[in-house]
Amino acid sequence: MAKNSGNSNKIQRNYFLMALIFGAIVIAIIVRAIMVSFVEGDFWRELGDKTIQTGIPVQAARGNIYSDDYKLMATSEFRYVLYLDFWAEGVREDTLRKYVKPLSVELNKMFPGKSAAAYESHIMKGWRQRSPRNREYRLNVNAVNYLQLKAIRQMPFFRQGRNKSGLYARSLVKRTKLYGTLASRTIGDIYGEFGKGGKNGLELAFDSLLRGRPGEGTRQRVQGRNIQVTDKNPVPGCDIISTININMQDITEKALLEKLKELDAESGTAVLMEVKTGEIKAITNMGRIREGVWGETKNYAVSDLSEPGSTFKVASMMVALDDGLVRPDDPVDVGNGIFEYAGLTLKDHNANRGGFGMINAAKSIWFSSNIGVAKLILRSYGNNPGKYVDGLYRLGFNQDLHLDIPGYGIARVKHPEISPETWYKTTLPWMSFGYETQIPPIYTLTFFNAIANNGTMVKPVFVKEIREDGRVKEKKETVVLKNHICSDMTLQYIREMLYNVINHPQGTGKPAHSDLVRISGKTGTVQLSQGAAGYKAGGLSHQVSFCGYFPSEDPQYSCIVVIRKPRNGNPSGGYMSGRVFKRIAEEVFVQNVAASPLLTAYNDAGISKTPHVKSGLSEHSKYVMKKLNVKYAGNPKGEWMSARTEDDRVLLSSRNIPGNLVPNVVGMGARDAVYAMESAGLRVSLTGQGTVVAQSVPPGSKIENGRTVVIRLK
């Protein structure tokens, strides 16, 4: 009994001792918690703030810019800058030295700009200079794309992963223009630094929509690495559907650029506009970058304030006709082509050939007679020049067009009552044929487009739609600026004059005559002011232009072509700008106005009659093959199919594209690949031309809405 009592006391003492120890621990914890919270609280909170950052902006995917038929023109492409962290937990010197040579060989194969020895030397230099305070050693390669990054991660040493190799990447966003210089200045650019957004063009005008809304994240530094968690998801930017048509843009740019090279001109502008809607289908602005090289440097079409020259005669004639002060058959004596007025000499372009003598008002436009138009305007408005300028204002030459392109210019047409200090005795006649005014090319085009549009002036527009998450958020409608710029009779007279500029044997626009499509328009040649030196003769100081529309009988498109300071040839709006206009008009007319689905089949025994057929949408592909009498076998089930050519036929098979995974678009054409990706909620960036050979996100991957997939075509 005494023995049991002793054991019980021993157990009680042990329990008491354990309770005392745990109680001491609890008290110590409480004391420590109080110390941490109240006594040392400021220190620990400050230390925590150094390792945790909240409210970190999470970049939203910038919206894309598309052509009028939804071809991708500008998109954001992720690029990656590579770093080595030699203080990563798993990095070992013996492993690095074992793999550095084969690694350097692989880097040299992918980036041959540096030798394998240079890569090895650079990596080992980083190892020798490693420091726990600087764990970012830049690998000596340029920023890479996603496909390159994947390949690099499979190279010797790097394939061991982030912890054992120290390789990590930081993503950058690069704005890519898929069609190079085509409409480049109109599309615009963005600043490289995150958050600054659009710099010019549509990128700037619609920046608030394109940039989306950034999210927020929390960043914490753990064991030398930054770990970031997204607290609020970013909202991708809207997509902009422009009015630009890629085919028309290509036609316009090639026609202008070839002429600039032929003339060795300083710069040139060409703009193609759809008559009824005001949609700008093509706009190119090429300036000399260096000898023999031209590129898009400035949007001359909307910003260039220069004297328009003889194209402005049409506006002067319209004002006088509409005021009832001139009729087309009114005679005007231009004599031998030389006219002295107020101490200045005015010449016609044929003064060296004796002038035109007695002509009428209509022919002063056909022949582009400076003297004819100046005398008619002096006769009509010499005692009341303000009425003449009021007529020009009535045509819209003083209004703000409110264009979508930032930095656009507004026409400057002075008025004798508003600015009498700049109105001289010679101003009225010289203004009548396009001097002493500053008119951006887009204004001249808008005026001529109104003539083509039965007198209705519409605003030039560059954007058709704004889309958010694939749905139309806003559709741009045609904006009518003026219902009637003149009377119906005046419009008829003017259109007859513009037709004869091209089709009369002595018309200055005869070089723009086409046997394929009827063209109406007006030439313009103006000497450019050389600052304090005034106006100088010579090819370097001229600007030549042509503005008009086609087909004359039912105008569908208007166009202006301006060429500045040609070095070769005699300055001529007809032979220089008119020839460019003619080429644009003929090619656009054939492809878009008079086009029919004609196909020429070549029956050459040396050429395979079985074409290469890309994978894609089943029904579309089978329809085309039936129309072209291409033999095929197989009846793929479902929306998509794969194709391969064998002997004299095409073999078709089903292709499964699951709706919840990234589709496999390798082997497809661009159009079907984009459709498949965007149908899955993905964004697409295209590089190259032809057939899809690679995609940045592997097929079968989980879909992340709004993610951009880079598709490479070859």
What's the mean per-residue pLDDT of the chain? 84
The answer to whether residue 128 scores a pLDDT higher than 60 is: yes
Q: pLDDT tens-digit profile of 416-427?
A: 999 899 999 999
The answer to whether residue 95 scores a pLDDT higher than 80 is: yes
Question: Which one has a higher pLDDT value, 604 or 99?
Answer: 99
Query: What CATH fold (topology level) applies to the domain 616-713?
Result: Trypsin Inhibitor V; Chain A (3.30.10)
Whether the CB-CB separation of 295 and 306 falls below 8 Å is answered with no
Domain ranges of the chain: 57-242, 246-467+475-593, 616-713
The predicted pLDDT at position 192 comes to 67
Structure tokens at 20: 């005392």
Q: Which amino acid is at 277?
A: T
Q: pLDDT tens-digit profile of 142-193?
A: 888 878 888 999 999 999 888 888 898 887 777 888 888 788 888 888 876 6
Cα distances (Å, whole numbers) of residue 238 to 63, 136, 215, 546, 575: 5, 35, 16, 37, 44
Closest listed residue to residue 517, CA positions, set 561, 472, 556: 556
Closest listed residue to residue 541, CA positions, set 519, 556, 525: 525
The predicted pLDDT at position 76 comes to 81
Distance between CA atoms of residues 141 and 282, nearest Å: 38
The predicted model scores a pTM of 0.71
3-state secondary structure of 93: helix
Distance between CA atoms of residues 166 and 171, nearest Å: 16
Query: What CATH fold (topology level) applies to the domain 57-242?
Result: Penicillin-binding protein 2a (Domain 2) (3.90.1310)
3-state secondary structure of 464: strand
Provide CB contacts within 8 A for 121, sequence distance 6+: none
The answer to whether residue 650 scores a pLDDT higher than 50 is: yes
Mean pLDDT of 91-114: 91
The answer to whether residue 134 scores a pLDDT higher than 90 is: no
Which top CATH class is 246-467+475-593? Answer: alpha beta
Question: Is residue 468 exposed (0-12), middle (13-18) or buried (19+ Cβ within 10 Å)?
Answer: middle
The answer to whether residue 602 scores a pLDDT higher than 70 is: no
% of residues, the chain, pLDDT over 90:
47
Is residue 679 very low, low, confident or very high in pLDDT (cuts 50, 70, 90)? confident
Q: Which residues of 364-402 are buried (b: 16+ CB within 10 A; e: fewer)?
A: bbbbbbbbbbbbbbbebbeeebeebbbbbebbbbbeebe
Distance between CA atoms of residues 509 and 580, nearest Å: 12
